[in-house]
Structure 1
Amino acid sequence: MASLPMEVDQEAGDASSTFVLAMGNNSDGQLGCGIAEDDDDKVFAPCELHAFDSVNIRSCSSSLKHSIWLSYDGLVYTSGDNDSGQLGRAGKRAKPFKIDSIEHMPVESTAAGNGFTVLAAKLDGRLMGVGRGDRGQLGMGGADRDDKERVKFSSALDEQLLNLSAGESHCIALCRSGKVLAFGENKHGQLGVGDFVSTATPKPVPSLSSRPVVQVSCGAAHSLARTATGLLWSWGCNEHGQLGLGDLKPRFRPEQVKAMRVSRCVDVAAGNRHSLSISEKGLAFSFGAGGSGQLGSGGIAEAEPYPKVIEALKEIGTCLQIAGGHSHSLAVVLNQESLRENLYVWGLGSSGQLGIPRENLYEKKLSPLPQKLRLDPSLKIVSICSGPLSHHTFLIVSRAAGTESRGGYPGTARESLSPRASLGPFRHSLHTAIDADELLHALRSLKGSEGIQQTALVKAVGAAFSSVSVLNASFRRPSPLGTTAESSGVDLLKVRKAYHTLVFEMRNADLINTLGRATVSICDELAKQRVPTDDPETLCVFLVLFENPLLLAEHRTSLFAGFHVALQRLTAAVLSLPKDSQKLLFGWLKHLPSEYFGRVVNVMQQYVTYVLTQPGQNQSDVSAAVMMLQTLWDANAEMDGILPEWCFQSLAISQSADLQEHYRQWQQQQSLVFSYCRYPFLLNAGAKRRLISFDVELRSQVASQELWAKVLREGLGAPEHAFQRALVYRVRREHILSDFCGQLWWRIENQPESLCLPLTVDFVGEHGIDAGGLRKECLHLVLREMYTKTQIFAELDEWPGLLWFRPPSEHDKVLSVTPPEQTAHDETWVEHLPEIAGAIVGLAVYNAIYLDFRLHPLMYKFLIHGLANHSIEDLHGLHPSLYRSLTSLRKHDIRDLCLTWSVRLPGANEDTALGGRPRSADVQQDELEAFIREYAQAVLYAGDMEQLRGFVEKASVCMAVGPAFRLCTAHDLELLICGLPYLGDFKDLELSCKYANGFHPDHPVAKMFWRVVHGMSEIWQRKLLLFCTGCDRVPILGLRALNFVLSRSAVDLDHLPTANTCINQLNLPEYPTEEMMHARLHAALEHYTGFGFA
């Protein structure tokens, strides 16, 4: 976890001993093994560097004439030519010696160029340099010709460097923040800053901004960068095709190597004029100059502009490491058969850099194909090192303790020399990414610590979590490496665990504040549209940020006060993304558990609530948050609704006092005015009921005026009497179905404007004024009798409790009886039962009456969208078994099934001929799709499309569909008709309860009643609702809106409780004990069968 260690040491622990083998040109002592007396400056057999007998070497860097070694303790050793002071010390040159002047400052990374050395400090990431600076290659602002051997320090950098790579006269630096800096010579565009101007001051590489770069490598005059998702970028000199871009033109800005996009890189290396990479599958690729065989293709090529697989290595096994020198290459390969790791070398070997004797080289100079370097089998290669100007090679190897040295070089086994010398996962490590497991280990090991370590931890977290590049590179799954339309590669579970540990387990106020400030900082950067969107890897940061618990309501206010600033900027950043990027970003969440997408929606909902509840709310912030929710709503629709509708509904907006004004503006189509009603998914069913009620009130006024005008115009008797006849339904309980349906059908046919008046019912022979209870009771009784006597509806076999139309042959026509006096009645209603059923549903919506009438959800879809919007997929929800049977026909040869066009529809007692074809006609293979389509349609329409169309049309007429209704979804309509499907908390019912006839909240019997009710199971609580209200569903505004009345009954104690469902009243005798009340109440509920039991 290289982003977080800054001053937090993650390398402590037991380690194996390492030692260094060297081979190749040693004319200036660059191998560090001394110069032989026979003046042979070439070493063809790997030799051990005994200068490191007591030192564990972590890495090596080399140039043409000097070399650098870095120990695990951060100490730097150098040897070789020192004409420019590049060794950073005086004294012997042929053997490695420590740079004493920086011994107090541990080093994180080293790089060697032509006559210069650059270093990055471990503690603060400061740039250090020594040697030639005439071309700005030290990054110190200019050449420093005084005291060349003195290591110089940069003080101008704000960035902390993590990894360095040097070419002949330029350097590329990877910072802990993920930024890529460049300095030095720029003759060929190798700095990647967009021009050919050299610079002595480190400058950011703009094209790599925000990209998850994890590795950089310099050739002599070209540069490479690899991202966490395995993309390869190249720029600079390209005269031999070393950029892999398919041509020989130089580039002064990084360009993606498209040829490696599919393969995805896990390691890259640059030689002098050639480049090497390893794909995710372990294939080695090479491109660029091959005149010395350094491409490993078996031939000699001056230029190869396309990356090509090194076939010889592919046949051997999986490539694990790769490195390039001036004109040679080397790789560690895991053999498929022996499962051993071996070193393979190829290219120029005339200086011994391959470790192969001259006689084994082509023309004693080179090896165009990889050759296995024979090493002691007890050795394990830790790292392979060379450089773009180097004609020599270093191997960092380890050997088990107690193993005797053998082979062509001397060596002795050693004990583990330092408890800090852990090798760790060196290969393919992500240098600028947060590894969740390492982060959690570091945090938990430092929990409760104080002082320097705790300060370092806070600082490291702030730096990492404020960097777009770092978060884009972090928390990635090991495989597959890249991003696809289905997967971002980010392990969101690990992200959530990391945040949970940072915020809740550490319990450190400084850490939380630092994380909060980092969150604001990174959101600000994203909002300024500095993030490139040309590749999906730059979008991963958004997934990580949405998991931040500081953005959630239950944590943010108490933990971090600036959360709203971060949310405002994060919202702006997401909205500024191109539509394709938004679609991809949220599309990733489709393939994960819905809780992750729900987290994003929840964060934005909380932000909307916060903004709306603040005094002097900023309308632009509200509209931005709403537009963000619109984006999420659209994404959810494209993901087939992985989140239910209620997740997007905003309680703050639904309860807003400004909702009616927003509705008015929307009605008037004021396109330039922001209105909540443009985003109906934000409104819950309660808010839509309010708007529908507003519509109903206006329409009732207009209908009343029209009806009065009609009565006066036609002069049919006294106007008041005629108006009352049109307004009031007079029904007899014993003939309620006939009376109500006849009068309703007459109004539909002759006086449709009266349907827009409030429904008023008068039960003949009974005293009372309809204040809402009588009409509710009437509709319930009518529907109950329609269901039991006409059998127009049937219960679905696979959905118990849900109703659908029965095929027409099953309808029992009910004979009309003499209507009550002084009523307008149409006896033909018996021929229009489907239309009347639809009209009753419409009247219930218009008059805000909840019905105990459970239609299948598909019916509400038809009521909202019409009959045209249906498909065979709708059959899956209605008759799942039949759907599976029909669609399975496509897998069979129907000639073997003997299918005919005559079928038996669900609920029917006789067969139906589909599509007007003869009943005995066989279904042909080319008619199969038509058969499936017509069969499905016949089932959906219950064999008669006209009855379903009549139901839908008359429901729409009686709903008096207005603008507010258009805001409703099918689910909203179901709630408006049936109420909420879940009970909620019965304590809400107790709080809103009204008391009558001597009962009050503190009455002992009332208290006893509520104890009994709260102890009931959900089944019995539903029975209580059904008993008292005629419906076991809850109003859309909850139990508080039920207007429940508990009334004292003066009957004897052996009587059961009774109910007046028209006013939601329970009449309860004063039972003396809780046991008696429990028994009597359960008896009443158990034997209740419907209206009239009281």
Structure 2
Amino acid sequence: MLALCSCGETPRPWEDPVIPSQPPPPDTEAPVVRIDTPAPGQWLNVPRLRLSGDVGDATRVEVWVDDGISRTLSVAGSTLSMELTVPPGSHVLHVSATDAAGNTATQDVPYHGGPGLGGGLSHTGVVRQGRLVTWGGNGQGQLCETTPEERPSPAFALEGQRPIAMVSAMDTTAWISADGSAWLCGALASLLDAGGTVVGSAHRVEGVKDVVGVALGSGHALLLDASGQVWAFGANARGQLGLGEEGEAVPQPTAVPDLTDVVQVVAGSEHSAALHRDGTVSVWGYNRDGVLGTGETEARVQASPARVPRLEQVEHLASGRSHLLALLADGTVRAWGTGTSGQLGHGDAGFGGGRAQPTPVLVLTGVTAVTAANNSSWALGSDGTGWAWGLNSTGQLGVGDTNQRVVPTRLATPLPLVELAAGAQHGLARTRDDAVIIWGGNLSGQLGQGDGAPKSASTPQSVNLP
């Protein structure tokens, strides 16, 4: 009896009862998606989009731009990192993250690719909401209007056209249309072979498709297509076209040989440069004050592209008349070439201010873009601040006076900025709320302040856009 009783199901007082295991509750929470770059409303400097962020416990991620074809990623861990090649213009990036239970979270990030501001010798242009707005001098048709009169107030140009990106230099304006074609208005347009498509004073550049970048020098132009190929035309007396020899002007776009995987092109008075996808830089043309970056100061012609020694991890380039700026991945800037006006930002000016190899620009950290024109330089900080240094005779630095600067000085505006551009004697910027401010020389109305405006302004002024 004792044995039988001890075998019952009643647990002993010192034993825990056995509780049947319960299934875990179903997972109904979507992954937490965080996109670090691009930031909403960001203006990209080159036609590539670097996506980074975190997708939590997602096991599958889809990424697409606008209504394009998506890319599906298998995620190892929560880190999201990839690079896309994108055309200029306004876009929306979509990121969709799905976890093992099938829960999905989607985040959309609007951004803009390619430059939307341009400054020339005496004119200005802005791409805004799909329209081109221009003002200032128009002696060469650079406002994309057929009448030669200057225009001191902003007005729409190219009725019926929808530019998605634009640049200006000297007496020329260039813009890219949604179909990937490039157009020129002004002085450089006259160098093209006759017979192409003309709209008003805008000439279509024939023979190059899927254009994603344009650079304008004093007498030559460069185009970059979506494959990373560079095309050049115009003056070539100093080998600035990169075709292997100097000589007569070239009237049609010609592929630059042995130059591949390029993501940005820039041009100066008699030199050109290209940023490669791997972060290296090639330069060619006339080695004025060491602008080729090789360490040599001999004034010689280099008619074919060659890599700048010991320069890596470059994210963005800018070119002035005869100096170059390179933004590195760590947010610092290097400069080389002519430095007579302090445009290299290393603390010196005059005939000893030039540098024949990339030299650190003082003060700057956390930079996201660089700009240069003539003998002046600018940089955009990740916090929306603008910085300027170099020649300042017309107040073109925008720092509140006309004194030359040999180190970067903050622009005299509290407004957060997302884009910078500059002409020979003035500068301009787009603010975070899509307004435009401008400063510098105004002899031809390039500040867009209307009739009777002062001939210069060293402090940024708002522009009343149509």
Q: CA deviation at 1:323?
A: 1.0
- Does the aligned pair in 2 maintain the 1:117–1:138 contact within 8 Å? no
Change (3 A) 1:131 1:95: same
> 338, 345, 348: which is aligned to 2:391?
348
In the alignment, what sits opposite 2:123?
A: 66
- Structure 1 position 397 matched with structure 2 position 431: yes
Letter matched to residue 141 of structure 1: D
Question: How has the CA–CA distance of structure 1 residues 238 and 356 changed in structure 2, closer, same or farther, with 3 Å as cutoff?
Answer: same
Q: Give the secondary structure class of the aligned counterpart of 1:296.
A: coil
Q: 1:9 to 1:288 in 2, by over 3 A?
A: closer
Aligned: 1:309 with 2:360: yes
How far, CA to CA, are the matches of 1:244 and 1:64 in structure 2? 26
Shift of 1:344: 1.8
Point out which structure has higher relative CO (alpha carbons under 8 A, 6+ apart). Answer: 2
Q: CA deviation at 1:238?
A: 1.3
Partner of 1:319: 367
Post-superposition offset of 1:171: 0.6
Work out whether residues 111 and 117 of structure 1, in 8 Å CA contact, stay in contact via their aligned partners in 2: yes
Q: CA deviation at 1:132?
A: 2.3
Contact 1:327 1:391 in 2 (8 A): no
Question: Percent identity at matched positions?
Answer: 25
Partner residue in 1 for 2:186: 131
Q: Which residue of 1 aligns with 2:80?
A: none
Give the direction of change, closer, same or farther, for the CA distance of 1:112–1:399 in structure 2 (3 Å limit): closer
Secondary structure, aligned partner of 1:247: coil
**In the TM superposition, what is the alpha-carbon distance from 1:291 to its structure 2 partner?**
0.4
- Pairing of 1:629-1028 with structure 2 (within 5 A): none
Query: Structure 1 counterpart of 2:344, which letter?
Result: L
> Secondary structure, in 3 states, of the residue corresponding to 2:290?
coil
- Counterparts of 1:600-611 in structure 2, within 5 Å, are none
Instruction: Tell me: CA distance 1:280–1:15, structure 2 relative to 1, closer, same or farther (3 Å).
Output: closer
From 348, 353, 357, the equivalent of 2:400 is: 357
Q: Which consecutive residues of structure 2, in runs of 5 or more, have no partner in the other structure? A: 1-46, 49-83, 95-107, 436-458
**Structure 1 residue aligned with 2:345, among 287, 292, 296?**
296
* Number of the residue aligned with 1:1001: none
Aligned 8 A contact 1:58 1:72 in 2: no
Rounded to whole Å, the distance in 2 between the matches of 1:266 and 1:7 is 17
Amino acid at match of 1:216: V
How many angstroms does 1:159 deviate by? Answer: 2.5
Q: Secondary structure at the match of 1:349?
A: coil
Partners of 1:158 and 1:105 in 2: how far apart?
A: 19
2:377 is aligned to: 329
| Cα RMSD for the two superposed structures | 3.4
Aligned equivalents of 2:202, 2:287: Cα separation in 1:
33
Residue number among 179, 186, 207 corresponding to 1:157 in the alignment? 207
* Residue aligned with 1:206, SS: coil
The residue number in structure 2 matching 1:122 is 178
TM alignment of 1:19-34, pairs within 5 A: none
Measure the CA separation in 2 of the matches of 1:350 and 1:9.
Answer: 36
**1:220 Cα deviation after fit:** 1.8
Task: Provide the rounded CA distance (Å) in 1 between the counterparts of 2:184 and 2:434.
Answer: 36
Which residue identity lines up with residue 373 of structure 1 in the other structure?
Answer: L
Q: Residues 321, 351 of structure 1: CA spacing in aligned structure 2 closer, same or farther, 3 A cutoff?
A: same
Q: 1:143 to 1:169 in 2, by over 3 A?
A: farther
Distance in 1, Cα, partners of 2:231 & 2:320:
20
2:307: which partner in 1? 256
Shift of 1:139: 5.8
Select which of 216, 234, 246 maps to 1:196: 246
Contact 2:169 2:218 in 1 (8 A): yes
- Say whether the 8 Å CA contact 2:318–2:372 is kept in structure 1: yes
- The answer to whether the aligner puts 1:386 opposite 2:425 as a matched pair is no
The structural deviation recorded for 1:228 is 1.4
CA distance in 2, matches of 1:88, 1:311: 39
CA pair 207-400 structure 1, distance change in 2 beyond 3 A: closer
* Matched residue type, 2:325: L
Q: For residue 311 of structure 1, report the CA deviation from its aligned partner.
A: 3.0
**Which protein is richer in strand relative to its size?**
2
What letter matches 1:344 in structure 2? W
CA distance in 2, matches of 1:374, 1:149: 38
C-alpha contact 2:362 2:407 (8 A) present in aligned 1: no
- Distance in 1, Cα, partners of 2:212 & 2:110: 24
Distance 1:309 1:138 in 2: 39
Q: How many residues align?
A: 340
Q: Per-residue deviation at 1:302? A: 5.0
CA distance in structure 2 between the partners assigned to 1:195 and 1:109 by the alignment = 31
Aligned-partner residue type, residue 76 of structure 1: L
Q: 1:374 pairs with 392, 395, 412, which one?
A: 412
Displacement, 1:70?
Answer: 1.4
Shift of residue 400, structure 1, vs aligned partner: 10
Q: Hey, what does 1:10 align to over in structure 2?
A: 91
- 254, 259, 267: which one aligns with 2:316: 267
- Whole-angstrom distance in 2 between the partners of 1:169 and 1:149: 22
1:234 CA displacement: 0.6
CA positional deviation for 1:395: 1.0
Q: Secondary structure, in 3 states, of the residue corresponding to 2:258?
A: helix
**Normalization by structure 2: what TM-score?**
0.65
| Cα deviation code 1:171-217 (max 9, x no counterpart) | 11111222100111111111101111320100011021xx2211111
Q: Which residue of 2 aligns with 1:166?
A: 216
Q: CA deviation at 1:293?
A: 0.6
Structure-2 residue corresponding to 1:218: 267
In the other structure, the counterpart of 1:140 is: 192
Q: Is the 8 A contact 2:399 2:410 kept in 1?
A: no
Return the alpha-carbon distance in structure 1 between the equivalents of residues 433 and 87 of structure 2. Answer: 30
Indicate if the aligned counterparts of 2:341 and 2:391 stay in contact, CA closer than 8 A: yes
Aligned-residue offset at 1:119: 2.4
Amino acid at match of 1:323: T
Normalising by structure 1, we get a TM-score of 0.29
Q: Is the 8 Å Cα contact of residues 16 and 400 (structure 1) preserved in structure 2? A: no
- Equivalent residue letter for 2:287: N
The residue that corresponds to 2:236 in the other structure is: 186
Say whether the 8 Å CA contact 1:85–1:148 is kept in structure 2.
Answer: no
Given that 1:108 and 1:162 are in contact with CA atoms closer than 8 Å, whether structure 2 keeps it comes out as no
Deviation, 1:16, is 9.2
For the residues of structure 2 that align with 1:268 and 1:7, how far apart are their CA atoms? 17
Which of 270, 273, 284 is equivalent to 1:235?
284
Kept in 2, the 8 Å contact 1:126–1:157? The answer is no
1:357 is displaced (CA, Å) by 3.2
Counterparts of 2:89 and 2:434, CA distance in 1 = 29
Separation of aligned partners in 2, 1:98 and 1:109: 15
SS at match of 2:413: coil
Change (3 A) 1:410 1:157: closer
Distance 2:369 2:162 in 1: 26
- 1:170 shift after superposition: 0.7
Q: Aligned equivalents of 1:270 and 1:226: distance in 2?
A: 12
More helix by percentage: 1
2:330 and 2:245 mapped to 1: Cα distance?
36
The alpha-carbon distance between structure 1 residues 326 and 5, as it changes in their structure 2 partners (threshold 3 A), is: closer
Give distance in 2, aligned partners of 1:163 and 1:380: 26
Following TM superposition, by how much is the alpha carbon of 1:398 offset from its aligned partner in structure 2, in angstroms? 1.5
For 2:240, what is the secondary structure of its paired residue? coil
Structure 1 alignment gaps of length 5 or more? 19-56, 335-339, 359-363, 402-407, 418-1094
1:277 pairs with one of 326, 332, 342: 326
Q: 2:446: which partner in 1? A: none
Instruction: Kindly state the Cα deviation for residue 397 of structure 1 after the two structures are TM-superposed.
Output: 0.9
Which AA in structure 2 matches 1:172? L
| Structure showing greater Rg | 1
